[in-house]
């Protein structure tokens, strides 16, 4: 049995968690692409606050037991197709291979309200291959927090990006912004639950003041990227962050397994990128030898 106080959970030479991500007996490098999650969790504009209660505390009971009340679309998470498209798979129905595999982290810097275009995706490196997990780093993860700037002024995907992902036959897509779609193509704008004024009407008014156009002129569809990729069997990660800058521009291996939640519309995940510098690690064959 490991002795946690003596540090048996790690290599003897290591002194903290960050180092153990890079220096371990497997020879692999691990990069956490998830934002920290807990009390005070940033929430999308129409979600209730995350609640965490201690049913048992160490002082009271000699054991710690906590109860969490949350939506699954909180922090770094994955959308199941059924989140948006009726008649498509729920979280427990998405095949396990979708949550593990090779892919790329593309460097596509974007500013306030800019769209990620087909040209951006075509020109980014490394080249996207069929079956890849594709993560886009716009740089917006630096603003992640309980603030209007992150949620209301983000860049994002639109119909053009969604169609490109489908054409490339990727299996998973993600970005470092508030949603798989541009914020003004979500309920933050005058769409769906945000109609007719938007969940953040001041943001919509500011867009018109800056551009001279109504939001619906430039973003007439409600969540087109969501609809295009999820209806084509491509799941999506939202609110990616953490160590994303350390693997941007690289081809890596990803893993992010959600709960086996029956009829789940999405799930909070810990998205991890892995690199094998020596190429010496292998997955076991399943034999008894």
> Could you read off the pLDDT of 10-26 as tens digits, one per residue?
554 445 656 777 778 89
b/e map 11-34, b = 16+ CB within 10 Å:
eeebeeeeebbeeeeeebbebbbb
Asked whether 184 and 174 are in contact (CB, 8 A), the reply is no
Share of the chain above pLDDT 90, in %: 90
pLDDT confidence of residue 5: 54
Give domain 33-45+72-275's CATH number out of 2.60.40.10, 3.90.1150.10, 3.50.30.50, 3.40.50.300.
Answer: 3.50.30.50
Q: Where in the chain is the domain with CATH 3.50.30.50?
A: 33-45+72-275
pLDDT at 3: 57
**Could you give the count of Cα atoms lying within 13 Å of 109 in the half-sphere of its Cβ?**
2
Q: Are strands 77-79 and 29-32 parallel, antiparallel or unpaired?
A: unpaired
What parts of the chain have a pLDDT lower than 70?
1-18
Q: Quick one: pLDDT at residue 14?
A: 45
Q: How far apart are CA 223 and CA 73, in angstroms?
A: 15
DSSP 286: S
Contacts of 189 (CB under 8 A, 6+ apart): 183, 198, 204, 215, 216, 219
CB 115 within 8 A of CB 160: yes
pLDDT value, residue 161: 98
Four-residue CA torsion sign, 7, 9, 13, 19:
negative
- Of 280, 203, 275, 279, nearest to 33 by C-alpha is 275
Q: 90 with 251: CB under 8 angstroms?
A: no
pLDDT (0 to 100) of residue 17: 59
Q: What is the pLDDT of residue 289?
A: 77
Which residues are bridge partners to 274 per DSSP? 30, 253
User: Taking all residues of the chain, what is their mean pLDDT, rounded to a whole number?
Assistant: 94
pLDDT for the residue numbered 4: 53
């Amino acid at each position: 049995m490991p002795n946690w106080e003596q540090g048996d959970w790690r290599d003897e030479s290591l002194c903290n968690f960050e180092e153990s991500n890079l220096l371990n007996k497997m020879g692999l490098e691990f990069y956490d692409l998830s934002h920290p999650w807990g009390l005070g969790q940033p929430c999308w504009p129409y979600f209730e606050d995350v609640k965490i209660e201690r049913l048992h505390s160490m002082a009271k009971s000699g054991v710690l037991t906590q109860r969490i009340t949350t939506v699954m679309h909180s922090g770094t998470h994955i959308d199941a197709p059924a989140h948006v498209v009726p008649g498509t798979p729920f979280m427990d129905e998405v095949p396990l291979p979708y949550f593990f595999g090779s892919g790329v982290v593309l460097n596509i810097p974007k500013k306030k309200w800019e769209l990620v275009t087909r040209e951006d995706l075509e020109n980014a490196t490394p080249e996207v291959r069929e079956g890849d997990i594709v993560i886009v780093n716009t740089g917006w993860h630096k603003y992640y927090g309980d603030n209007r700037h992150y949620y209301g002024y983000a860049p994002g995907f639109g119909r053009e990006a969604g169609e490109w992902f489908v054409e490339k036959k990727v299996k998973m897509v993600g970005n470092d912004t508030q949603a798989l779609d541009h914020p003004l193509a979500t309920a933050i704008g005058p769409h769906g639950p945000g109609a007719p004024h938007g969940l953040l009407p001041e943001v919509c008014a500011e867009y018109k003041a800056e551009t001279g156009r109504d939001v619906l002129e430039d973003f007439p569809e409600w969540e087109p990227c969501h609809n295009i990729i999820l209806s084509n069997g491509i799941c999506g990660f939202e609110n990616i962050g953490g160590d994303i800058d350390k693997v941007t521009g690289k081809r890596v291996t990803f893993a992010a397994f959600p709960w086996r939640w029956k009829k789940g519309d999405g799930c909070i995940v810990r998205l991890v990128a892995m690199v094998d510098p020596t190429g010496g690690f292998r997955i076991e064959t399943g034999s008894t030898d």
